[in-house]
Chain A
Amino acid sequence: MTGALSHLRVCDLSGQLAGAGATKILAAFGAQVIRVEDPVSRGLWDALRGVGPYVDERRGVDLGAGFNNHNAGKYGVTINLRTDEGKQLLRELVAVSDVVCENFAAGVMENRGFGYEDLQRIKSDIVYVSNCGFGHSGPYRDFKTWGPIVQAVSGLTYTSGLPDTEPAGWGFSYMDHGSAFYMTVAIMAALHHRERTGEGQHVDLATVPAGMAMLPTEILDWTVNRHMTQPSGNRADFDEYAPHGIYPCAGADRWIAIACRDDREVALLAKVLDEPTLTADRFATLPQRLASVTELDAVVGAATASRDAPTLAADLVATGVPASVVKSPAERIDGDADLTRMGLFPSVTHPDIGKVRVEGIPMTFSATPWHLDAGAPKLGQHNDEILGKLLGHDAQSLADWAERGVI
């Protein structure tokens, strides 16, 4: 099938979710994404190759389900860049690629002889996107990060939690996703520029600033009003709404999110909860509700505690009050008709893992739908196809290189 990006080839030295998440989107739309991995460390620079979850008791670098999820639809080759022959192979691959991308620490590519100027000499219009925590410039350029560190130093972690105690933070590497979003945008924008001008370029993406870009209002409230954002549990940012929170429901660890955007919705909430206290004069206006917000939240929480979460959410939404169960993985993945309709979780086939579901792309394209059916590449799975057929090397050379640890 011809995809939106079937005309593109990506030489992908990136990994983990922060890089692989971007090139997965490109692969889903038809780009030929070729992951270049190190045969010496068995590809474990991308730690996800070697960690679970696994589908069964088998373990190994070709069996990590997280790696499979993030790399579905890509090709994989092994090249040992410590060797001159390996470096030459990478040069040949760059020469037939539109994009080179990576998320090593700053300086790694230059030290290997593949900085932007080197890449440009190999292919003059190459689009090179680097992606690391602090970027390739600035005083912290040598610092290393992973998702939770990015979230910490960008301000995101601080905003999630109760006041005056330890931050709860984000319970996953949110900014690995954020990094992948911006990396995808960078690649596509640079490609459009190349399309118009014939010129490639280096885009230096820094993930910590990307985290700050996710907090524009909070930052403007500081630069304009000198107001410092503080964690406030689940209350609305900037006192926009009240009640606004996550309240207990019947059952173990069951919760409902409710947001009343105006006085009318508070009245509707009172009716659905059968809790007339919410319509008392002291809760009549937003300033009044904010002044007594602890009491207000306690009233709402006491009324929701005995309710069935899905039923209450449905009743509230039906009356026009924003509400949702805090959905478990089962509820959000397997219980959403819209996601089933759009095929958000396709099954892919991996040579060793077998048939397994992965995350798809949350967009539906009318003319060029995305498509994922192959699992992630095994380590060096496509050496013959890419290094042999695409780059024109014969079987004897490949065998020789494999024996000598070049690939």
Chain B
Amino acid sequence: MKNYDLVIHPGDAPSQPRRVELIGCLDSHTVVGFEKSLHALLDEGVRGLVIDLQQLTYISSAGISALMGLTHRLRQNDGELILLKPTEKVNRVFRTLGFTNIFKIVENESEADSSITR
């Protein structure tokens, strides 16, 4: 398993939701590149993001804060950030701290699609 990788799947148009896979650890070291890449997508006009967390092995407060910042920015523009199927370890952190009520978390891709196009 890589320490960090981000796979951004191509989209047909900026208005289409984009899917990205977040792999490895999102901590104070890796969050800089993550934020830069995703805010660049939002700068292009993307208003819907699905972040696949199935291979995310660790998230720190810096990572949570980055997700919060993206959520905030997207919602300000009537967009949405969807977190797809976080690993049990990451989901436990969200649950313990109360972020399951703040982030939109879904368990499968069809639910992600319907949440973002709603």
A and B part of one assembly: no
